[in-house]
Amino acid sequence: MPDQSEIIAALFWQGEIGVDEALDEQPADWTRFAARASAARRAPAPPATPSLTLGPTRAATPDRRPPVDAPIPGLADARSLVAGVTSLAGLREALTRFEGCSLKHTAMNLVFADGNPEGKIMLVGEAPGEDEDRLGKPFVGASGKLLDKMLAGIGLDRTQVYISNILPWRPPGNRSPTQAEIALCLPFIERHISLVAPQVLVLLGGTAAKSLLNRAEGITRLRGQWLDFHIPGSTQIFPAMATYHPAYLLRSPIHKREAWRDLLMIKSRLT
């Protein structure tokens, strides 16, 4: 039996590594869901669903999403909730009704989006942090301040761009989202992008780039080039530029130079 000081030390250690909230009575083995989610994403694509009439159209692309019967609890619900959504208000409402992601129960607020949905550019980050969770708005903390400066560098502000995240709820203690959480939230952000139909999509950081582009490479490889983002199961395609996440740039300012090059490519695409 550990003595009291060992128990207190263990609690402090958990707090230090970001385990600051209890999600359930019993520990869950999230690595099991992660393995299922990545296996499901490699599974053959199901038949394409009818497309929305928004955005540029080309031949229908295969649906990369896991099949509806993939064993990720809540995924079928997520898909059926977004299926009937035709407006941003409807999408927000669908998220408030979605009970499949446990992050919702530890977060204070839904963090849906900020900025101008009519803007030419949509930026997608990873997940809200503490400040965003408190205020219910994306990118309002330290990395948001850097993002605002980056946008100002190419003559933009939040009245001209639209900002959201892969996950609309904060992971407790700002831990990285699991593959299962990402898979559960993808149908919502994919529909979000489809409804906004931006001229240019900017993916901030590896989580946004890898999960939306369905690529295994890291951000260092993916950034700095125009890639096609296909809305799964539809004919909508958007030009996407991945770049470093502002939080990473705060930790590694040496990479601001490459991020600046990415921003200039975005600027020249817009003009």
Residue closer to ligand URA (CB basis): 66 or 171: 171
CA 260 to chain centre: 22
Residue closer to ligand URA (CB basis): 40 or 204: 204
How far is residue 104's CA from residue 91's CA, in Å, rounded to a whole number? 15
Binding site for ligand URA (CB under 6 A): 125-129, 132, 138-139, 143-144, 165, 247
Q: How far is the CB of 221 from ligand URA (least distance, A)?
A: 20
How far is residue 208's CA from residue 215's CA, in Å, rounded to a whole number? 10
- Helix, strand, coil percentages for the chain (3-state, nearest 5): 45, 10, 40
Q: How far is the CB of 193 from ligand URA (least distance, A)?
A: 16
Q: How far is the CB of 150 from ligand URA (least distance, A)?
A: 13
Q: How far is the CB of 176 from ligand URA (least distance, A)?
A: 11
Name the token pair of 73: 């609890």
Q: How far is the CB of 128 from ligand URA (least distance, A)?
A: 5
Residue closer to ligand URA (CB basis): 40 or 219: 219
Residue closer to ligand URA (CB basis): 147 or 266: 147
- In the bound state, the residue with its beta carbon closest to ligand URA is 125
Query: Which long-range CB contacts under 8 A does 210-214 form with residues at least 24 apart?
Result: 211/166, 211/182, 211/186, 212/124, 212/166, 212/186, 212/240, 213/240, 213/242, 214/41, 214/64
Name the token pair of 228: 């096609």
Residue closer to ligand URA (CB basis): 98 or 112: 112
How far is residue 64's CA from residue 234's CA, in Å, rounded to a whole number? 11
Q: How far is the CB of 169 from ligand URA (least distance, A)?
A: 11
User: How many residues belong to the chain?
Assistant: 271
How many helices and strands, by DSSP H and E, does the chain display? 12, 6
Residue closer to ligand URA (CB basis): 129 or 187: 129
